[in-house]
Chains A and B, each alone.
Chain A
Amino acid sequence: MIINHPLLGPRDAQEFTYLGDAALIDRPDGMAFPDATAAQDAFHDYLYLRDNPAGEHRELWFHEQGDRSWLVVTRNTVTHEITKVEFARDVARSRGRSK
């Protein structure tokens, strides 16, 4: 596959490491829960409950043999067509993440 890197252009997927669902970006704040049970429930859902669509999927890829950017790649899991590639950092910020 070819991933169209936002800065470097088309790069072979062999240069990347795959992580999985980009929903991993939405990590809960471990200190933001009233008790341990609520925290564990939230982290359980965050870590283990993932969609596995046959179709468009937003996923995290790491350009390990490139510029070491984490990217959010929108890929059709059936056709492998890639319709969007974004810096994960930008996506994280757009989802309200900061420090």
Chain B
Amino acid sequence: MTQENRIKGGQIDRTKTLRFTFDGHPYTGHPGDTLASALLANGVRLMGRSFKYHRPRGPLSAGSEEPNAIVELRTGARQEPNTRATVAELFDGLEANSQNRFPSLKFDLMGINDRLSPFFAAGFYYKTFMWPAAFWEKIYEPIIRRAAGLGSLTREEDPDQYDKGFLHCDILIIGAGPAGLMATLTAARAGARVILADEDFRMGGRLNAETLTVGNHSGADWAEDTVRTLAQMPNVRLMPRTTVLGAMDHGIYSAVERVSDHLPIPAPGKPRQILWRIYSAHAILAAGATERPIAFENNDRPGILLAGSLRTYANRYAVAVGDRVAVFTNNDDGLRTATDLQAKGIDIAAVIDTRQEGDLLPGIRHLKGAQVIDTKGKLGLKSITIRHANGRSETLSVNALGVSGGWNPNLNIASHHRGRPVWNDAIHAFTPPTGGPKNLTAAGAAAGALSTHAALQTGAAQANAALEALGLKTHTPDLPKAEDAPLNLTPFWYVGEGKGRAWIDQQNDVTVKDVKLAKQENFTSVEHLKRYTTLGMATDQGKTGNILGLAIMAELTGRSIPQTGTTIYRPPYTPVAMGALAGRSRGPEFKPTRLTPSHKWAAEQGAIFVEVGMWLRAQWFPKAGETTWRQSVDREVLQTRASVGICDVTTLGKIDIQGCDAGAFLDRVYANTFSTLPIGKVRYGLMLREDGIVMDDGTTARMGENEWVMTTTTANAVPVFRHLEYVRQCLYPDMDVQLISTTEAWAQFSVAGPNARKLLQKVVDQDISDAAFPYMACGNITVCGGLRARLFRISFSGELAYEIAVPTRYGDALIREMMKAGEEFGAVAYGTESLGVMRVEKGHVAGNELNGQTTALNMGLGKMVSKKKDSIGMVLSQREGLNADDGLRLVGVKPVDPSKPLTAGSHFLDIGAAPVAANDGGWLTSVVYSPHLKSSIALGYLKNGTARIGQKMRAVNLLAKTEVEVEIVSPHFFDPEGDRLRG
């Protein structure tokens, strides 16, 4: 098909032809086209079906406010639904499809909804699908969704990359029309750092759409020259294809830059879009204004556009939407469409002007006091019926109609902090609120200054105001001469005549009747009107329809428009892809990955890894012939207890604590006493929250008079550090204590088992005999011929055990060295599973027991809380409620039948007690299989548990549907006297 509706002029590059398809049909366009302009050039007006009634629709606008021309772009993994054809930049090879139609756009079976419209009025869903309630989820909702949905999602992973970034400026200018360009020029010449962001791919705003002049140039040429000047200035960043989405606090704005949306696929390594966080000292909203329609019967046919958009298609895109055109207006701006189109040689059938007063346009049939009362043309406009001032009706054969009900300033961003828009009687529209985001001002049409001259003038003035606030030199530029015509608008919102439907919100199919129904049912507040009718709740957020709807409500209720007010404006300004919000944080890059120092070695051993927070830790180390994880873990545990095993424990938090008051500081943060700990010794410490609940536990070593090393659990390393800084800075500001994390600085390994000492002695340069290095000793040592290292004789497994630490870069070499040294003992590496088995066998608490609900007393460690000194949580840990005799106590659990597995999370119930909350005795926290006891074993919290040791109960898990008879035992299953660890 040729571009039959293409006319002369415009800002398209005719030297290049772009091929594209729509619903499978091939078409051509040019660089500079949008999908909508190219389709219109090819005579395609029908671009979609409406959401509810499946009415045939074409574009209403030529911009981001578009409610109707919503299409799917691309295919395969890049298929993108609900995209506005009016802003989709055309590229060669674009495949676009209409949506919400079956089987085809021209013949849509769901169009039956349109015939059934009396049943689908506002509130229909609320009233109809109320009963029976159980039907909603399974029956009603799926049916409605299938019928009503918009585009469809590809089920494939998005292959493109989305970036996030941060920009800084003195002045952010939102919108590159005459006001924004003039503001940028003024601010940039004063030396300010300026960002100019515009959602369009071509800067200039309305200047590109008009035939108006600025100075001695056409508006479009002036814009192009100005953009070229600004591009040369190092303090200016021009950001076309960038939509400012919202105003956050303190001068922060979010914006999405569509870097590659205009390309078939992004260049290698380049993002599709970037979500920017813009830090600004000042911002100027120069986002222009959006034309609003007038509601009349059947005003939604393809070919009926906003008058200014008809002009945009003709002037900017060189497209005549129709060859015989009428204009319906209540203001002078609408007249421009008639004169512009006529100048392009397009036949103007009539200008239907609702106003009685004013001059008549020369050479055009200009009908004063007239209205459009109906239209015809199922898939595209064929004729309109008008009512003359004298009451006579007439039908005009036209294939395009431009409608202008006035212009609404695009004040959204100025209202993102809930400031209420202010009604302006001169232009009969809302303007930005006075109490908007701090340091944001509006200029040009966004501020209600609708003429070109006013835009240039307010742009310069607001830039100067911002410069002055920044302490920069201001200067008032010579403004180029431009038109300064008033709008001369006489309010006219909808045509009262006719029984058919007059559309307000074309995307959500809201009509004048729906507003009347809302009023009738007393949903008169704008917020109720919105929810009841869905006015403004579609993807366009009512950019064209909202004000019209609330003006009609105002008229129906006899209130003024400002009394009626607007709904709250919220970000984002236009729809934003989820991918842009996610940025690079998806899949394996959702969060960083932390690798242990022995990771490379463990991977070589074929270790299975598990995520522990951000860490990847070896979970177990399968050996040849082992087919289940249990075989590996049983072997690791048995061999460690029989000889020696090695485990990377680097992930535990390590905090270096120094200073003259470090001991006193530790007495404050730990429930037990540390200041008495001798140099060269380690002590287990219990840390409470101020409310008496256990926060964390770990060992702290005294390496010198004023030098301590604290360990935390892996999960709590960061919160504990934050807590220590809080105690140091906020509570005891004069304690001499210095803190720094050393978690990453040292590679630390646990070496456990009867042969641990023998193995380590082959690595450590000093004597570590029991006499020289007894249980709970610590010290600085050297290994492997002189490398500085640290040794701690501590045990989580219950075995003779040490933790040895070297600077992280040597961790890989150390584990290789130790495994070699351990060959003669049959040393094994063990992972987190075996670590867990051995600690449960010993009755040591870990994350499952330190769950933020439990006290030292619950854990059987109540005596550790010293009352001889003040410590965080000491006082409140003594509360009556936390000290009941029948409170939870840590116990061990064994199945009566050793072959029965236990399930973590099971609840304790007495034999014969019904499984109801009232009979709940507590729960199993950690379950492992003990290869020594040849049975599943568990730790758990049981009410009055210590007194119940020896009794039989049931462990019931209603979710897993398990029930096992169990015996309550001491939590110390293995070597309860601790002979082994002192060996």
Question: A residues near B, CB below 8 A?
Answer: 1-2, 10, 12-13, 17, 19, 24-25, 27-31, 36, 39-40, 42-44, 47, 60, 62, 64, 68-70, 80-82, 87-90, 92-93, 97-99
Contact = CB atoms under 8 A, between A and B. Distances in A.
Interface in B600-651: none
B283 to A, nearest CB: 14
B19 to A, nearest CB: 45
Nearest to B740: A68
Top 8 A-B residue pairs of the complex, sorted by shortest distance between their CB atoms: A30-B870, A2-B250, A98-B734, A92-B733, A70-B729, A1-B249, A89-B733, A89-B729
Interface string B690-706: 11000000000000000
Given A89-B733, A93-B733, A97-B731, A1 B661 contact: no
Contacts of B251: 2
Contacts of B249: 1-2, 13, 80
Contacts of B871: 30
Given A47-B690, A80-B249, A97 B733 contact: yes
Contacts, number: 85
A30 B874 contact: yes
Nearest to A17: B722
Interface stretch (B217-225, B793-801, B875-883): B875-883
A40 B661 contact: no
A25 B734 contact: no
Interface in B810-832: none
A98 B733 contact: yes
15 contacts: A1-B249, A1-B250, A2-B251, A19-B726, A28-B875, A39-B875, A43-B690, A70-B730, A81-B438, A87-B729, A89-B729, A89-B730, A90-B733, A92-B730, A93-B733
Interface of B: 248-252, 279, 438, 661, 664, 690-691, 718, 722, 725-726, 729-735, 869-871, 874-876, 878-879
Contact of B691 (A29, A47, A93, A98): A47
B384 to A, nearest CB: 51
A92 B252 contact: no
Q: Is the interface of B mostly helix, strand, loop or mixed?
A: loop
A99 B691 CA distance: 21
A43 B876 contact: yes
Contact of A24 (B722, B730, B734, B874): B730
Contacts of A81: 438
B732 A97 contact: yes
Nearest to B691: A47
Contacts of A70: 725-726, 729-730
A97 B249 CA distance: 34
A64 B729 CA distance: 13
Given A60-B730, A80-B249, A89-B730, 19 more contacts: A1-B252, A2-B249, A2-B252, A25-B730, A27-B690, A43-B690, A43-B875, A60-B726, A64-B722, A70-B726, A88-B729, A89-B729, A92-B730, A92-B733, A93-B734, A97-B734, A98-B732, A98-B733, A99-B661
A44 B691 CA distance: 8
A88 B248 CA distance: 27
Nearest to B665: A99
B731 A40 contact: no
Contact of B869 (A10, A31, A39, A43): A31
Given A2-B250, A2-B252, A92-B730, A29 B725 contact: no
Contacts of B869: 31
A89 to B, nearest CB: 4
B735 A62 contact: no
A40 B730 contact: no
Most buried by A among B690, B729, B732, B734: B729
Q: Is the interface of A mostly helix, strand, loop or mixed?
A: mixed
Contacts of A47: 690-691, 876
Contacts of A40: 875-876, 878-879
Contacts of A99: 661, 664, 732, 734-735
A31 B733 contact: no
A27 B876 contact: no
Contacts of B870: 29-31
Contacts of B732: 97-99
Nearest to B417: A79
A70 to B, nearest CB: 4
Contacts of B722: 17, 62, 64
Contacts of B279: 2, 10, 12
Most buried by B among A2, A60, A69: A2
Contacts of A1: 248-250, 252
Contact of A80 (B250, B718, B729): B250
A92 B729 contact: yes
Contacts of B735: 99
A57 B464 CA distance: 35
Contact of B875 (A30, A60, A69, A92): A30
Contacts of B733: 89-90, 92-93, 97-98
Contacts of B878: 36, 40
A25 B731 contact: yes
Nearest to B731: A27
A71 to B, nearest CB: 9
Nearest to A44: B876
Contact of A92 (B718, B731, B876, B879): B731
Nearest to A98: B734
Contacts of A29: 870
B916 to A, nearest CB: 32
A26 B871 CA distance: 15
Contacts of A10: 279
Contact of A62 (B252, B725, B731): B725
A33 B944 CA distance: 31
A83 B183 CA distance: 30
Nearest to A36: B878
A82 B250 CA distance: 9
A9 B691 CA distance: 35
A42 B733 CA distance: 22
Given A2-B252, A99-B661, A88 B876 contact: no
Contacts of A2: 249-252, 279
B747 to A, nearest CB: 24
A40 B882 CA distance: 12
A68 B726 contact: no
Most buried by A among B725, B730, B878: B730
Contacts of A82: 250
A81 B250 CA distance: 8
B657 to A, nearest CB: 14
A70 B718 CA distance: 15
Nearest to A88: B730
A69 B869 CA distance: 27
Contacts of B874: 30
Contacts of B250: 1-2, 80, 82
Contacts of A43: 690, 875-876
A69 B875 CA distance: 27
Contacts of B730: 24-25, 60, 70, 88-89, 92
Contacts of A62: 722, 725-726
A68 B730 CA distance: 12
Nearest to A24: B730
Most buried by A among B869, B875, B878: B875
A81 B664 CA distance: 39
Contacts of B690: 27, 43, 47
A63 B869 CA distance: 30
A26 B251 CA distance: 34
Nearest to B661: A99
Nearest to A31: B870
Nearest to A41: B875
A28 B78 CA distance: 61
B471 to A, nearest CB: 16
B437 to A, nearest CB: 10
A69 B734 contact: no
A51 to B, nearest CB: 18
Most buried by B among A13, A47, A81, A90: A47
